[in-house]
Structure 1
């Protein structure tokens, strides 16, 4: 290896290792990690440095580029940990492209000023190094430079080939794995696990069997219209923060008191990553069944079809519609939604700019869209799955209004302290979600068919300042299933299945909620089918 590469390589390796101390939460020290993990770290640096040196022909410039990219990942990881309680994993690299396509959803969490400063510094560095640092092709000759660069790359590849198979097994708990392995080794481990993770089989979805129940239903006339709403960042903050007005969720309280089923929902997301909850609810497949694919299951579903709640309703003769007032391509929904069995996908193109409330399409506008869908009667029952957007962050891009505090936090001081500013914005939109609930109920009550309403939150909101001040809330969100027939509409479900009685809360996992909604419609049929399916007792030989 030529000496011109040696010093940049060694200095960069030391700085790269030191930069890991900037991660929050911080990984364990190198001397407490396994040899394989440390070899993976070293091999990763050699590979990245060698490739950049080969491309740029300037080793010190290559060091700065690699370290700058590492700092971007570290800052992204720290921002993600602060807002989502989860560090950066290899799945998150695709979000850099999403940040370019949808900057409002990502850049504010990274820091607009930091993003501008980093971009400006990068542009200055590129110009400076190209001007001051001599190309090694010029100073060392093309042959010596190429041999030296390929030697560095080859050593990096060999080290990784040795170390990656010997790394400790990951737990798929990102916080724990980052602490144990550090940045480079954990990125490799999650990448390898993702490539090796099998795609869930159709039989793993409960809707694979429930579709047959739906097909066997005798007539469409007795089936209710079903509206299933995934309310963005919906949770009940009143027990978490005493400053919140007790009447903020009046319609939610009234509906829950008359629900056929309600309680806390264990969701696999915090602050964001909506599709983790969404996928669990619609497919009925628990996150752990996805393995390393659980962190963005829609990437898999964009290429593979699995049974879902929508496809089961469709098998029973339902017209199935998904309403999401955002870009259809986000999270590959333009591919996933049709493959899940939806006849129609209503995205942001079906709304007007006047429908906005804050940064996104309002919940009231979505409620009006649901009403028009229910009025469009084609003699088939309707299943509408709704993914709202009004309460999506970043909340700090909106300014709280003193006029709304009377209905949200009447005792809060003005001007608001920092820990209440985002919370005030959130609570205003939460109140709008409550009004949407009342509107949808009213529409279902006046329709010709009976109606069923499912409602749940995908995750708690991103409110780091408020959480730091008040302590974080329970990660669970509320859910409920309400019928126009009243609480007595709850069907008798499968024998031995315990459900809440007398309106007591019944806790569910996210992957169980869609199944319970389905059973509210086809409960009697499910019970009879299960009874018929039980094998006859046989004598032991």
Structure 2
């Protein structure tokens, strides 16, 4: 019985080590990782192999399944590193289920052809192993089989229990942690840290202290309507790529020139993971304060309410609405948005198929929805938080339009070279975001109340071929706060009102709050939030 297990186990363990060399960026070799990390790798393999042997009764089949699962994680990590500058972490396992529910958002980055080939190979392999490899229960007997399989599981579990606690501390930089510890040890370290991590307290949000300030203003003065737009993958590509037409973001340029506050926003995401930026803006809590939970804070917020910009404005008498033209359940927003103090959540069900531009609901359709909300005057000020979708990838599923190149990439040849194809698609949609900006401003100008518009990008887009050709941007996105009324002044003094100021994402919501209620708010109330620093 032992001989029937030992060779599959050793061969699989050897190939498992070779598979780690396929990771990009590549971890340290085993001899440089330390005993604890290597013991975690061995213990993980023993545990997984033992469980699959117990389930399948065929050791070579179990090895094939183990290696296939590891290869899926390796390929997923490489795809994520290529597009998002971040390797696979334990939080990402839940995205496998999301990939089934929302394949368009995930499978194209993994590789459609690879996914089909892997699925087909799995079907053939399953049939082949069941046909050619006999069951150990039949050949060795049930008692011996159970004893050895459970022994492998127990040995792997014991090795993990001893080794995981001896791993070096993680630094919450996934690339560095993966490099130091390897795949298995980094996954275990992040998983254990996530289970032990404390939940941020409501007092850590600056809106915990600002909510009484907002309540004190209720009914005392006319308050403006507020629209805050989180524009999908919005950034200004013109400083990064000189081939982009200089007038691409015409309305953005005009608005920024008259904005009361604007500049670069340091966002905690690259290419995706929108909720990291979204959470920072709405709660005012810096990613560092979330600890290991920073990589998907909405999983925590789905169970734990937190003060936010929305709840603070609601305390001042605002009607609070969130508009997101996608499935409400994605990222648990159907649970999180009410927890953050929104009265209504308008999702994909409020839009028609004719509202689409490309793969998703257009920014223009979202702008029309905002306009109708602003027309519905119920004597309360309105706060609308908007999460757009039009510019969401995968961009390579769309074909560039030659007719639009004159307005986006006027000097580009046709057919486009590979590094410009996704960029051209992105710029087509980015121009629609610019038109949305103009529409929302017009709606705010024609409303009965004065209005404030906040606008920012959640992260830069996924354009790996363009970044490889032109060099990557720095990852920051633009933000601005614009007002229909000239009496609103920037939070750093009227003399510098139109100078650009750099903000962290968790500072933007507080700055918008100060625009609404004035800048005589005691610094002690928001002492956790520094004033924005002037950009060079």
CA deviation string 1:244-267 (max 9, x = no partner): 000000000000000000000000
Matched, 1:354 2:349: no
Q: How does 1:70-89 map to 2 (within 5 A)?
A: 70-89=70-89
Is 2:210–2:525's contact at 8 Å kept on the other side of the alignment?
no
Aligned pair partner of 1:519 in 514, 518, 522: 514
Distance 1:112 1:119, change over 3 A: same
2:496 to 476, 498, 501: 501
Cα deviation code 1:182-214 (max 9, x no counterpart): 000000000001001100000000000000000
Q: Which moved more, 1:427-436 or 1:218-227?
A: 218-227
Conserved? CA contact 1:220–1:381, under 8 Å? no
Find the aligned partners of 2:524 and 2:28 in 1 and give their Cα distance: 54
Tell me what 2:301 maps to: 301
The residue that corresponds to 2:104 in the other structure is 104
User: Equivalent residue for 1:262?
Assistant: 262
Q: Distance in 2 between matches of 1:499 and 1:30?
A: 59
Give the aligned partner of residue 310 of structure 1. Answer: 310
Give the alignment's TM-score, normalised by structure 1.
0.96
CA distance in 1, matches of 2:253, 2:421: 25
CA distance in 2, matches of 1:364, 1:289: 36
8 Å Cα contact 1:79-1:109 kept in structure 2: yes
Aligned partner of 1:145 in structure 2 is: 145
Per-residue Cα deviation, 1:191-247 (whole angstroms, up to 9, x for no partner): 001001100000000000000000000526510000000000000000100100000
Q: Which moved more, 1:420-429 or 1:213-222?
A: 213-222
1:336-347 correspondence runs (5 A): 336-347=336-347
* Alpha-carbon distance in structure 2 between the residues aligned to 1:186 and 1:65: 21
Partner of 2:532: none
**How big is the shift at 1:416?**
0.4
- The answer to whether the 8 Å contact 2:209/2:525 transfers is no
2:387 maps to 387
Q: 1:499 Cα shift?
A: 8.8
Aligned equivalents of 1:220, 1:118: Cα separation in 2: 64
For 1:42, what is the secondary structure of its paired residue? helix
Q: What per-residue deviation string (whole Å, max 9, x for no partner) do you get for residues 28-72 of structure 1?
A: 000001100000000000000000001000000000000000000
On the 8 A contact 2:218/2:316 being kept in 1, the answer is: no
CA displacement 1:511-533 (0-9 Å, x = unmatched): 000000000011245249859xx
Query: 2:260–2:497: 8 Å Cα contact kept in structure 1?
Result: no
Q: Does 1:415 align with 2:418?
A: no
Distance 2:493 2:157 in 1: 55
| Mapped partners of 2:72, 2:403: distance in 1 | 40
The normalised TM-score by structure 2 is 0.97
Q: Which residue of 1 aligns with 2:321?
A: 321
| In structure 2, C-alpha distance between the alignment counterparts of 1:146 and 1:266, rounded to whole Å | 55
Counterpart of 1:122? 122
State whether residues 220 and 316 of structure 1, in contact with CA within 8 Å, keep that contact through their aligned partners in structure 2: no
- Give secondary structure in 2 for the equivalent of 1:230: strand
Show the counterpart of 1:212: 212
State the match for 1:370 in structure 2.
370
- Structure 2 stretches of 5 or more lacking a match? 527-536
3-state SS, counterpart of residue 490 of structure 1: coil
Q: Please report how far the alpha carbon of residue 94 of structure 1 lies from its aligned counterpart in structure 2 after TM superposition.
A: 0.2
Displacement after TM superposition at 1:2 (Å):
1.9
Task: Confirm whether residue 68 of structure 1 aligns to residue 68 of structure 2.
Answer: yes
Q: Deviations over 1:401-436 (max 9, x none)?
A: 100001101111011000000000000100000000
SS of equivalent residue, structure 2 residue 481: strand
| 2:125 is the alignment partner of 1:133 | no
- What is the alpha-carbon distance in structure 1 between the residues aligned to residue 144 and residue 218 of structure 2? 79
Task: Report the counterpart of residue 113 of structure 2 in structure 1.
Answer: 113
